[in-house]
Chains A and B, each alone.
Chain A
Amino acid sequence: MSDIVIKVEDLSKAYQIGQIGTGTISRDLERFWTTKVMGNPDPFLKIGEANDRSVKGESDIVWSLRDVNFEINQGDAIGIIGKNGAGKSTLLKLLSRVTSPTTGEIRIKGRIASLLEVGTGFHPELSGRENIFLNGAILGMRKSEISRKLDEIIDFSGVERYVDTPVKRYSSGMYVRLAFAVAAHLESEILIVDEVLAVGDAEFQKKCLGKMGDISKGEGRTVLFVSHNMAAVQNLCNRGLLIENGSMVHQGDINGTITRYLQGNSFLDDLSQVRGRKGNGKIKFQSVNVYGNQLQESVISGQQLHIDLKLLNLENITSDRIRLDVRVEDDFGQRLSWVSSSLVDIDDAIVPQQIRIFYPRNNFNNGIYFATLFLTVDGEVADWIDNAFQIIVESGDFFNNGRLVPNRQSKILMDFNMTFSS
Chain B
Amino acid sequence: MNDKSHSDHWSLIIKGHTSLFDVKFKDLWHYRDLLFLFVKRDFISFYKQTVLGPLWFFIQPLFTTLVFTFVFGNLANISTDGLPQQLFYLSGITAWNYFADCLTKTSTVFRDNVSIFGKVYFPRLIMPLSIVVSNLVRFVVQLILLFIMMAYFAFEGADFHMTYAIFFFPLLVVLMALLGLGLGLIITAMTTKYRDLSFLVTFGVQLLMYGTTVIYPLSSAPEKYKAIIALNPMTGIIEAFRFAFLGRGEFTPWSIGYSIIVTVIVLFFGIIIFNKTEKNFVDTI
Chain A residues closer than 8 Å to B280, beta-carbon distance: 99-100
Q: With an 8 A cutoff between CB atoms, is A53 at the interface?
A: no
Q: A1-B3, A24-B193, A137-B34 are contacts. A100–B15 as well, Cβ < 8 Å?
A: yes
| Complex contacts, B38 vs chain A, CB 8 Å | 134
B223 within 8 A of A: no
A103 to B16, CA, bound (A): 5
Residue of B whose beta carbon sits closest to that of A121: B116
Interface membership of chain A positions 377-400, coded 1 if the CB is closer than 8 angstroms to chain B and 0 otherwise: 000000000000000000000000
Does B15 lie within 8 Å of A105, measured CB to CB?
Answer: yes
Q: Can you name 20 A-B residue pairings with CB atoms under 8 Å?
A: A21-B193, A21-B195, A24-B193, A28-B193, A99-B279, A99-B280, A101-B15, A101-B16, A104-B16, A105-B14, A105-B16, A107-B8, A108-B13, A116-B119, A117-B119, A120-B119, A125-B44, A133-B37, A137-B33, A140-B122
Does any Cβ of A come within 8 Å of B26's Cβ?
no
In the complex, A112 has a CB within 8 A of chain B: yes
Contact B48 A116 (CB under 8 A): no
B residues near A15, Cβ cutoff 8 Å? 283
Q: Cβ of A98 and Cβ of B117 under 8 Å apart? A: yes
Q: Which residues of B contact A137 (CB under 8 A)?
A: 31, 33-34, 37
B206 beta carbon closer than 8 Å to chain A: no
Query: Chain B's nearest CB lies how many Å from the CB of A9?
Result: 10
What are the residues of chain A within 8 A of B3 when measuring CB–CB?
Answer: 1
Of the candidates B9, B120, B194, the one whose C-beta lies within 8 Å of that of A24 is B194
| Smallest beta-carbon distance B260→chain A, Å | 32
Instruction: Contacts A21-B195, A110-B11 given; indicate if A99 touches B48 (C-beta within 8 A).
Output: no
Residues from chain A with Cβ under 8 Å of B121 in the complex: 96-98, 114
Residue of A1, A104, A108, A123 touching B11 (CB-CB under 8 A): A108
Q: Would you call A98 and B282 a contact (CB within 8 A)?
A: yes
For B49, the chain A residues whose CB sits under 8 A away are 125
Q: Which residues of B contact A (CB under 8 A)?
A: 3, 7-16, 30-31, 33-34, 37-38, 40-41, 44-45, 48-49, 115-122, 193-195, 279-280, 282-284
Chain A's closest residue to B282 (CB) is A99
- The range of chain A's interface size is 35 or more
Which among B7, B120, B193 is the interface contact of A2 at CB below 8 angstroms? B7
B126 shortest CB reach to chain A, Å: 9
Q: In the complex, which residue of chain A has the Cβ closest to the Cβ of B195?
A: A21
Query: Assuming the A-B contacts A133-B37, A137-B33, are A1 and B7 also in contact, with contact meaning beta carbons closer than 8 angstroms in the complex?
Result: yes
Which chain B residues border A208 with CB–CB below 8 Å? none
Is A271 on the interface with B (CB-CB < 8 A)?
Answer: no
Please give me the 10 A-B residue pairs with the lowest Cβ-Cβ distance, nearest first. Answer: A97-B121, A137-B34, A100-B279, A143-B33, A106-B14, A107-B10, A108-B12, A105-B15, A117-B119, A101-B16
> Is B15 a contact of A134 with CB atoms below 8 Å?
no
Let me know if A109 is at the binding interface, CB within 8 A: yes
Residues of the B chain whose Cβ atoms lie less than 8 Å from the Cβ of A109: 9-12
Q: In the complex, are the beta carbons of B10 and A138 less than 8 A apart? A: no
Q: Are B16 and A138 in contact (CB under 8 A)?
A: no
Q: Is A50 an interface residue (CB 8 A)?
A: no
Say yes or no: A107 contacts B116, CB within 8 Å. no
Q: With A24-B193, A24-B194, A143-B33 as given contacts, are A126 and B45 in contact (CB-CB < 8 Å)?
A: yes
> Using Cβ atoms and an 8 Å threshold, which residues of chain B touch A99?
279-280, 282-283
Whole-angstrom distance from the CB of B193 to the nearest CB of chain A?
6
What sequence of 0s and 1s flags, for each residue 142-167 of chain A, a beta carbon within 8 Å of any chain B beta carbon? 11000000000000000000000010
- On chain A, the residues within 8 Å of B48 by CB distance are 125, 166
Query: Does any Cβ of B come within 8 Å of A111's Cβ?
Result: yes
A139, B16: Cβ atoms closer than 8 Å: no
Known: A103-B16, A137-B31. A111 touches B11 (CB 8 A): yes
- Shortest C-beta distance, A189 to chain B (Å), equals 9
CA distance A133 to B33 in the complex (A): 9
CB distance from A235 to the nearest CB of B (A): 25
Apart from A107-B10, A134-B41, what are 8 other A-B pairs with CB-CB below 8 Å? A1-B3, A7-B10, A16-B284, A106-B13, A106-B15, A107-B12, A108-B13, A111-B11
Cα(A252)–Cα(B257), bound, Å: 64
Determine how close the nearest CB of chain B comes to the CB of A110; give it in whole angstroms: 6
Residues of B within 8 A of A21 (CB): 193, 195
A130 beta carbon closer than 8 Å to chain B: yes
Q: Are A100 and B12 in contact (CB under 8 A)?
A: no
Q: Is A25 an interface residue (CB 8 A)?
A: yes
Determine if A102 is an interface residue (Cβ-Cβ < 8 Å): yes
Check if A123 sits within 8 Å of B41, measured CB to CB: yes
Could you tell me which residues of chain A, from 21 to 79, have a CB within 8 Å of some CB in chain B?
Answer: 21, 24-25, 28
What residues of B have a CB within 8 angstroms of the CB of A106 in the complex?
13-15
B228: min CB distance to chain A, Å: 28
Interface residues of A in 78-101 (CB under 8 A from B): 93-101
The CA-CA distance from A99 to B49 in the complex, in Å, is 36
List, in ascending order, chain B residues with CB within 8 A of A16's CB: 283-284
Complexed CA–CA distance, A95 and B120 (Å): 11
Taken together as a complex, chains A and B put the C-alpha atoms of A421 and B44 apart, in Å, by: 47
Instruction: Say yes or no: A125-B45 contact (C-beta < 8 A), given A99-B282, A105-B14, A107-B12.
Output: yes
Residues of B within 8 A of A24 (CB): 193-194
Partner of A138, one of B8, B44, B122: B122
Chain B residues with Cβ under 8 A from A105's Cβ? 13-16
> Chain B contacts of A140 at CB under 8 A?
30-31, 122
Quick one: which of A99, A103, A142 has the most chain B CB within 10 A? A99
Instruction: Please tell me if the beta carbons of A107 and B34 are within 8 angstroms of each other in the complex.
Output: no
From B14, B120, B193, give the contact of A120 (CB < 8 A): B120
A139 vs B39: C-alpha distance in the bound complex, in angstroms?
A: 17
Write out the residue numbers on chain A whose beta carbons fall within 8 Å of the beta carbon of B284. Answer: 16, 20
Nearest neighbor of A100 in chain B, beta-carbon distance: B279
Given contacts A134-B37, A134-B41, A138-B34, A25 and B119 within 8 Å (CB-CB): no
Given contacts A105-B15, A130-B44, A143-B33, contact A98 B193 (CB under 8 A): no
Residue of B nearest to A145 (CB): B33
Nearest-CB distance from B113 to chain A (Å)? 9
